[in-house]
Chains A and B, each alone.
Chain A
Amino acid sequence: MAKQSLDPINKIVAEFQAGRINRRDFLRLLGGLSAGAAFASVPAVAARAPRMNVAPAAAAQPTPQLMIYGGAQDIASLDPFDRTDYSISAIMRQVYDRLFRFEGGWPQPVEPGLAQTWSASEDASEWTFEITDAAVFHDGTPLTADDVVFSYQQTLKAQKQRSSLLAGFLAPEGIVAKDSKTVVMTLTTPYGSFDRLLAFLEQPIVNKALALANEVDGDGGAAYLIDKDAGSGPFKVTNWQVGSSYELEAVEDYWQGWPGESHLSGVVWRKTEDVGTRKTGLLAGDFDVADTISATDIAEIDANATTFTNVDYGLLGGYLKYNTQSGPTADVNFRKFLAYSFDKQAFSDSQSGYVKLMTGPLPEGVPGYDAALDPQYSYDPVKAKEHLDMTEYKDGGIALDFVYVSGLDFEEAGGLILLAELQKYNITLNLVPKNWPDIVGACTAPETGPAIAFIFDQFPPLGDTWLIEKYSSKSWDRPTGGSFQACSFYKNEEVDAKLDTLRVTVDPDEAAKIVAEVQTQISEDAPDLPLYVSPNIVGFNKRVKGFVYAGDISVDFWRLWIDDAT
């Protein structure tokens, strides 16, 4: 199952469009091709295109500069075997290399990283990865297959957050190094999209020798690595001020080179939790980049002479989850009544239009996304009344709880829109703001689950994972209870069976067919109202160049450089 099949010209064009080749190199490569000088070696050239930027024509290169990044989230830990918060992942991407790159554009393509080539057995139960021999850790040690094996095994053994999805397919003993450059993973459950899953999970590849030299109680060096690095990425950790600022310094001779006209000399991640302070910092010039900008600040930032914003949509979907096991929402007609009663456009207006309304359980960017899915539950008071009349609550006189995260205005706005509509039917909607841990706790079981909860979900861009975690009854009907993602407590035996089949289906066409069927059935049962995909809004100073959106809240520092001339 070879993955690199693009012809040379297309590949160079794709590399250019993804931002990994600058215009100068793009033209040079095309020129080279037309001259026929390097035709035979083009695949290799293209695969390593970034390295060619190491020595571009130097005359006009801006000097590498330090970039100050205002990040909304603290970076609580650099433990490569534990958490995957967006801030942690953003730094990990810079400090460590992964088997695959997953930041070349949007929707996210799976691209070679440390794994230069990879293949799977026919039944997708055994995956082989050929590791580059060019990668070097920051201490000068060459990166080998042994380091890859150690990193994955340690994550699985640690059983922390990072292992959650991986553990469903892989056990530590299923990962072996065939030789110094070849890793073989034998899955416990065959999985046709395993490469895509690995790309999404972004396991940092750790310098095994360094980690083990600092190991305590068999932790694989996790405690040591909590604020230090053992990576081979384009940046290394230089200063780590807990709760305040985190400094990275560029590795000049990074093995993949630098894709832009220049590169950053370093990055300081300034933790700035207040959204107003991030905006002010950007406008004041204290920050070169600030993430998670409020939609209401976009106009002000864009109007400023030195700053601009980038608005894109990723995989963070907002859902109104109905408790399908308890109370009025256990009645499918009542759920449909609620779904048709929600004015999505009013919600979009309340967010200044910076939302992408969803058409079904899967958001755009996930394979299986269906823009024409039916039904989609657009606001329709006539249909809403029809469905209400089919329930025992047609005269109203009931009260429902609408639970949302305390302090999140956009979630409250959703509640207010529904509240106003339900009043017309003599139904009271109690808006109940709660702290996030309370909501997580309440979503454990149907008995404690709220009638309606505003929940955000994000999964890998894999249809099966997305659907299973939310809509399989196995995700909540179990001894440890459900996660907030399964807060609808949805149970449809037919859907359960299809999702079970989907997980082990290797044939992509067959999998796509099941995804389509399941989506339609779920939509018909209306266990939730897929509402919208949240925007990722990033503010930039105009001197920052090279940004390529890749579906993430943060940005890829490797691609950026600062040019004061523009």
Chain B
Amino acid sequence: MLRFLARRLLIIPVILIGLSLTTFIVSRLVPGDPVKLAAGPQARPEQIQKLAEEFGMDKPLAEQYLTYMGGLFQGNWGYSISTKRAVGPDLLTYFTATLELTLVSTLLGLVIGIPLAIVSARWRDRWPDHFSRFISIGAVSIPVFWIAIVLQIILAQNLRLLPVGGRFDPRAGFPDTFTGMLLLDTAVSGNWQAFGIALRYMILPAFCQSLLVIAVVTRQLRGDMLDIVKKDFVLVARANGIPERTIWTRYLMKNALIATVSMLGFLIGFELGGSVLIEYVLDWPGIGQYALKAALLLDFQPIMGATLFIGCVVVIINLITDLLYRVIDPRIGFN
């Protein structure tokens, strides 16, 4: 296992350097002048020059890349040419919001998706199965931002049950945080009133984001279960009089989960980097919005920072998934 881990850890820097190089080249090849844009429309030539020098944008591209990477190895994520804010602290702030949303939505997706898959497979081609398939196909085929808007109008505007967006009630005052994840921080500090508010603000974005997880988990798990249910060991279990519920929830589930866990790693990575629309419509201040804004302004260092940051996290999640994969099914091994 240690050799496996070491081998995978050694590959990570190579992946990240490749990612940084690709991002750098792509972000610098697109047309547009980030310095002129940041300097503003009435900027005088000397202002543009000063800004270019300040951010090293007057240097050759190779030198710019090496300088950036040199800074990165020293823990300096650079500064936004547009806002002049340090990228590192901003990344942490935005990322923790996205991470919190991703974890809750994934958990919600599993809580809904796994029972749906079991019900669907257990009563194949009967109404629970039809219902489950309707949900999973609908969840993956209807644009999630559209669902967000519809729910926003129904639940927030008409019924006034939930807020339209944001992370916390501005009238209640933003709670003190230490990880940046409001649910965790308010729970740990015992501030249950703030926890309740944060939870209320979490419901809509988490539900919308969980739809993809629900769809994928339900379909994947259902299919795997239907494959496994035909295996000999299931027949043997039934012949031995093991209750049907135990067969489905323990024997079948454990074997069928392998592919789902693998898929889950991919899904979490996707949610971390690809929740821009949910963040935009429901005003969730996450890293997707941060990266999008940087991209639209050609704000080079935040673009690099956000890409590498998300890249790092996805690589780590994939590593964890690979380990988990092998824990669930020891036959796969570490070689």
Contact = CB atoms under 8 A, between A and B. Distances in A.
Contact of B281 (A74, A79, A277, A438): A277
B228 interface: no
- The CB with the most chain A CB atoms within 10 A, among B33, B94, B97, B165, is that of B165
B42 A483 contact: yes
B128 interface: no
A190 B293 CA distance: 40
B47 A444 contact: no
A168 B43 CA distance: 10
B296 A436 contact: yes
A159 interface: yes
A165 B42 contact: yes
A533 B20 CA distance: 43
Interface residues of B, number: 56
Interface stretch (A243-251, A325-333, A542-550): A243-251
Given A286-B163, A479-B45, A444 B40 contact: no
- The CB with the most chain B CB atoms within 10 A, among A68, A243, A268, A444, is that of A243
A283 B154 CA distance: 12
A115 to B, nearest CB: 24
A442 B36 CA distance: 11
Interface string A153-177: 0000001110111011000000000
B164 interface: yes
Interface in B36-73: 36-37, 39-51
B241 interface: no
Contacts of A270: 166, 170, 283
B83 to A, nearest CB: 4
Contacts of B31: 437-438, 441-442
Contacts of A469: 41-42
A440 interface: yes
Given A276-B281, A480-B45, A76 B37 contact: no
Contacts of B152: 276-277, 280
A242 B93 contact: yes
Interface of A: 66, 68, 74, 76-77, 79, 82-84, 159-161, 163-165, 167-168, 222-223, 226, 239, 241-245, 247, 268, 270-274, 276-277, 280-281, 283-286, 435-438, 440-442, 444, 469, 478-481, 483-485
The 10 closest A-B pairs by CB, nearest first: A437-B32, A268-B170, A76-B83, A164-B42, A161-B40, A441-B32, A243-B285, A244-B285, A480-B45, A281-B164
27 contacts: A66-B170, A66-B171, A68-B171, A76-B83, A83-B40, A84-B40, A159-B50, A159-B51, A160-B51, A164-B39, A226-B85, A242-B285, A243-B93, A247-B173, A273-B283, A277-B164, A280-B156, A284-B157, A286-B164, A436-B296, A437-B32, A438-B31, A440-B33, A441-B33, A479-B45, A485-B41, A485-B42
Interface of B: 30-34, 36-37, 39-51, 80, 82-85, 90, 93-94, 97, 149, 152-153, 156-157, 160, 163-168, 170-171, 173-174, 280-283, 285, 289-290, 293, 296-298
